[in-house]
């Protein structure tokens, strides 16, 4: 097992990356929470086998273990689910020394983390990340949120977890589509800051798709290191640095909004969004025309979509949804654009007709 430290103004925390880590959760938490504390495991029903291992390990160390199940999918990130969890904590007599263990992907950690940040004005929570996307991104950095009817993640907090556990063994059973979708974010780390990781992915994409555990553990560690370094330097996304993690996301949120969040999952929208961002950068002369090609080859090798052709989306609908994105700066859209593999830049004031042209080139109508 390897550990990475994330610096936070609210208290630094560790990310544990390795294999077979779930059974050791109790031992790890007993070093952090007072003996006999209440722990609420928050998860979803398809993750039952992991819950069994984790709750047995917590109970063995004397914790009073409770479980709270969220509905599957993005619907769990709602105000009513937030209140349901807070009421469950209250009903079980949770005090400030108790904690939440969020077992799942980004949906679970977003909702559980947000509840942790507001219940009794804040209790601690631990992320046990069970998807590749969560392990390389959402479990790290303390962004928590629910969705409002106008868009995703519009209400939330920065509330860092007390610990992140990323067990590469749990990724072996990930369905193909989910694995590929997460690999879009992995490719993102290569483009924004690590040319060696990008080359590693180009060389090892077949092994990764075969779910070779050692190779996957390596990429989880590499991406976690990058994310940890970025959020340690710019925890609250005020210095322009954390924003680089949003490479491809302005376009992706537009695609997701225009499609009504149907037909493609977030990681697929991010892959298409990265292609649009790279094409925009090449069109503006910010990067060489070779960069979008190289990125496209890798995304296609990871079995990801690279255009919106088959999704039947209108360019104006994508643009309208992009304008609702909370990552706007003084009302203007802000794009993370690649200069070269491993280096990106933040650009705003890009004329909308230019953006529209890129959407049309990528198959929007």
Sites of contact with ligand GLY (CB under 6 A): 137, 141, 143, 242, 245
Q: Which of 90, 123, 128, 88 is nearest to 109 (CA)?
A: 128
Cα 64 to chain centroid, rounded:
30
Write down the least CB distance from residue 5 to ligand GLY, Å: 17
The catalytic residue among 28, 143, 218, 334 is 143
Helix H segments across the chain? 25-30, 48-60, 79-91, 106-118, 132-133, 176-193, 195-209, 213-233, 249-258, 266-283, 290-301, 315-323, 352-361
Residue 330 CB, shortest distance to ligand GLY, in Å, is: 20
CB of 23 vs ligand GLY, minimal distance in Å: 28
Instruction: Mark whether 237 is an active-site residue.
Output: yes
Closest CB to ligand GLY among residues 218, 249: 249
Output phi, psi for 74, to 5 deg: -60, -20
Q: Could you confirm whether 185 is annotated as catalytic?
A: yes
Query: Is 68 noted as a catalytic residue in this protein?
Result: no
Catalytic residue among 74, 178, 237, 241: 237
Asked if 87 is an active-site residue, the reply is no
Q: Name the active-site residue from 242, 256, 268, 334.
A: 242
**Least Å from the CB of residue 243 to ligand GLY:** 8
Residue from 127, 153, 205, 246 carrying the catalytic annotation = 246
Q: Is 242 a catalytic residue?
A: yes
User: What distance in Å separates the CA atoms of residue 45 and residue 262, rounded to the nearest whole number?
Assistant: 22
Tell me how far, at minimum, the Cβ of 117 lies from ligand GLY, in Å: 15
Using the minimum distance from each CB to ligand GLY, give the nearer residue, 33 or 247: 247
Whose Cβ is closer to ligand GLY: residue 65's or residue 128's?
A: 128
Q: Which of 66, 218, 266, 334 is catalytic?
A: 266
Rounded to a whole number of angstroms, the minimum distance from the CB of residue 272 to ligand GLY is: 17
- Separation of alpha carbons 52 and 184, rounded Å: 31
Known catalytic residue at 217: no
Instruction: Report the greatest alpha carbon distance in the chain.
Output: 62
3-state class (DSSP) for residue 354: helix
Q: Which is nearer to ligand GLY, 245 or 264 (CB)?
A: 245
Q: What are the residues whose beta carbons fall under 8 Å from the beta carbon of 206, sequence distance 6 or more? A: none
Nearer to ligand GLY, 96 or 326 (CB): 326
Contacts of 175 (CB under 8 A, 6+ apart): none
Question: Would strands 124-129 and 99-104 be described as parallel, antiparallel, or unpaired?
Answer: parallel
| Complex with ligand GLY: residue 41 or 126, whichever CB lies closer | 126
Residues 6+ apart with CB under 8 A from 258: 313, 314, 317, 318, 320, 321
Catalytic residue numbers, as ranges:
121, 143, 185, 227, 237, 242, 246, 249, 253, 266
């Amino acid at each position: 097992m390897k550990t990475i430290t994330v610096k936070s103004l609210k208290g630094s925390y560790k990310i544990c990356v390795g294999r077979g880590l779930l059974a050791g959760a109790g031992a790890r938490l007993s070093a952090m929470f007072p003996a006999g504390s209440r722990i609420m495991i928050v998860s979803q029903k398809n993750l039952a086998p992991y819950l069994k291992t984790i709750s047995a390990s917590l109970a063995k160390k004397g914790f009073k273990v409770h479980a709270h199940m969220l509905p599957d999918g993005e619907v769990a990130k709602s105000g009513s689910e937030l209140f349901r969890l807070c009421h469950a904590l209250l009903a079980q007599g949770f005090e400030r020394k108790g904690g939440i263990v969020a077992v799942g992907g980004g949906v679970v950690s977003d909702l559980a983390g947000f509840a942790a940040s507001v219940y009794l004005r804040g209790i601690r929570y631990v992320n046990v990340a069970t998807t590749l996307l969560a392990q390389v991104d959402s479990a790290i950095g303390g962004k928590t949120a629910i969705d409002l009817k106008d868009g995703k993640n519009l209400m939330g907090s920065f509330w860092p977890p007390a610990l992140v556990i990323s067990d590469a063994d749990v990724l072996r059973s990930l369905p193909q589509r989910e694995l590929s979708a997460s690999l879009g974010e992995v490719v993102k780390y290569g483009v924004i800051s690590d040319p060696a990781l990008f080359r590693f992915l180009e060389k090892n994409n077949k092994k990764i798709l075969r779910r070779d555990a050692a190779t996957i553990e390596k990429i989880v560690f590499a991406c976690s290191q990058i994310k940890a370094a970025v959020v340690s330097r710019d925890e609250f996304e005020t210095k322009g640095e954390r924003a680089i993690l949003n490479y491809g996301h302005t376009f992706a949120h537009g695609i997701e909004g225009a499609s009504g969040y149907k037909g493609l999952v977030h990681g697929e929208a991010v892959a298409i969004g990265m292609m649009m961002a790279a094409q925009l950068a090449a069109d503006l002369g910010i990067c060489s025309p070779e960069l979008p090609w190289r990125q496209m080859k890798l995304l296609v090798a990871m079995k990801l979509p690279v255009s919106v052709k088959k999704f039947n989306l209108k360019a104006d609908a994508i643009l309208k949804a992009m304008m609702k994105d909370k990552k706007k700066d003084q009302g203007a859209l802000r794009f993370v654009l690649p200069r070269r593999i491993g280096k990106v830049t933040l650009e705003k004031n890009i004329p909308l007709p230019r953006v529209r042209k890129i959407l049309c080139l990528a198959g929007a109508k």
